[in-house]
A = this chain, B = another copy of it.
Amino acid sequence: MAMTLTLDQILAALEKTDTLDGLQTATEALRTFLGVAHIVYHWVDSAGDQYGCGTYSPEWRSRYLDQNYLRVDPVVSGCFQRFHPVDWKRLDWSSKAARALLTEAIDHGVGNQGFTVPIRGPNGQFALFTVNDNCTDDAWQAFTQANRRDLILIAHYFNQKALEFEPGRTPEVAQALSPREIDAMTLLAIGYNRAQVADSLSISEHTLRVYIESARFKLGAMNTTHAVARALSRGLIVV
């Protein structure tokens, strides 16, 4: 079968997709198009849920979830700290857990080469788009250099599509924090206690409490630490 698929066609197909299964199909098509072993789109959810579509074997996928490899995967933590796409070779595999993960992944047919594009959306949404293959370093570098831009674009479109499917993504957005609440959360996040925060904001500690409590309410948080964590992971404050 001749290769007639183009990037344009794939992106157009993505735009027309109206089910999650559509993403799965697009992923398969993409693999053929790019000529790599695997393509994975992986949404790392703030609630610890994960959604992904891709071409990894079901065994590996469930193994990854069961073992909570998310916690030790250098691809996840490495990409979380970076903006630009990353070649797996450039990540930190020094920890034993990480090396064990890699070995096991290769055993599951993941391939020895990988390239992952981090993607971020509103409310601290974070996702990964990965391609990988089994080949030499040189071949892989040539591939990633040649396709870098397309991969960035594809990752972008995948995420856009995935966000459209996300249920209840919009309602939470409405609850923005007021300026004072943001101030309070920010100062708490940098380690100030209530007395220090109140002092920094030149308000009474009593007033501060009102802000903290209303922020907690808006964020659906059970306590201050929770509220700050949510504000952070939703990108409402930055430290």
Write the residues of chain A forming the contact surface with B, with a CB cutoff of 8 angstroms.
44-48, 70-71, 76-77, 80-84, 95, 120-126, 149, 152-153, 156, 159-160, 163, 173-174, 176, 179, 182, 186, 188-193, 221-226, 228-230, 232-239
Contacts and interface: CB of A to CB of B under 8 A. Distances in A.
Nearest to A122: B81
Nearest to A219: B191
Q: How many copies does the complex hold?
A: 2
Given A71-B182, A83-B163, A236 B77 contact: yes
Contacts of A71: 179, 182, 238
A62 to B, nearest CB: 19
Given A46-B182, A83-B125, A126-B235, 8 more contacts: A71-B179, A80-B122, A80-B238, A188-B226, A188-B229, A224-B225, A229-B239, A233-B238
25 contacts: A46-B238, A47-B238, A48-B239, A70-B238, A71-B182, A81-B122, A81-B235, A83-B159, A83-B160, A120-B120, A120-B121, A123-B239, A124-B232, A124-B235, A152-B153, A188-B225, A188-B226, A188-B229, A189-B225, A190-B226, A190-B229, A191-B229, A225-B228, A233-B238, A233-B239
Contact of A239 (B82, B189, B230): B230
Given A191-B223, A191-B225, A173 B239 contact: no
Contacts of A123: 238-239
A1 B48 CA distance: 56
Contacts of A221: 191
A72 to B, nearest CB: 9
Contact of A223 (B159, B186, B193): B193
A172 to B, nearest CB: 10
Contacts of A225: 188-189, 191, 224-225, 228
